Amino acid sequence: MKTIAFIHSIDKISQDNWLAQFNTLLPDETIVLAEQLTDTQASQIELAIVANPSVDALKRFPNLIWVQSLWAGVEKIVDTFRLLNSEKEHPTQLVRLIDPYLAETMAEAVLTWSLYLYRNIPEYMQQQKQKVWNPIPCPNIETVQVSVLGTGELGTVSMEALVSQGFNVNSWSRGHKDIKNVTHYSEKEGLNSLLQKTDILICLLPLTDHTYKLLNKKTLGLLPKGAKVINFARGGIINHDDLINALDTGHLSHAVLDVFEKEPLTKDSPLWHHPKVSVLPHISATTNVETASKIVADNIKNFRINGAIPESVDLEKGY
Which of 60, 82, 274, 282 is labelled catalytic? 282
Q: Residue 285's closest CA among 126, 157, 140?
A: 157
Q: Residue 113's closest CA among 280, 235, 245?
A: 280
Coil, strand, or helix at residue 21?
helix
The residues that bridge with 172 in the sheet, in sequence order, are 149, 185
Residue 82 appears among annotated catalytic residues: no
Which of 8, 234, 240, 254 is labelled catalytic? 234
Asked whether the beta carbons of 295 and 21 are under 8 A apart, the reply is no
Residues 162, 182: Cα–Cα separation, whole Å = 10
Residues 244, 260: Cα–Cα separation, whole Å = 14
Q: Give the number of residues written for the chain.
A: 319
Q: Residue 64's closest CA among 312, 314, 316?
A: 312
Asked whether the beta carbons of 118 and 144 are under 8 A apart, the reply is yes
Residues 178, 195: Cα–Cα separation, whole Å = 19
Asked whether the beta carbons of 68 and 6 are under 8 A apart, the reply is no
Residues 269, 104: Cα–Cα separation, whole Å = 31
Q: What's the Cα-to-Cα distance from 82 to each of 18, 86, 93, 313, rounded to whole Å? A: 27, 6, 10, 11
Asked whether the beta carbons of 133 and 110 are under 8 A apart, the reply is no
What single-letter DSSP state applies at residue 172?
Answer: E
Residue 282 appears among annotated catalytic residues: yes
What are the residue numbers of the active site? Answer: 234, 282
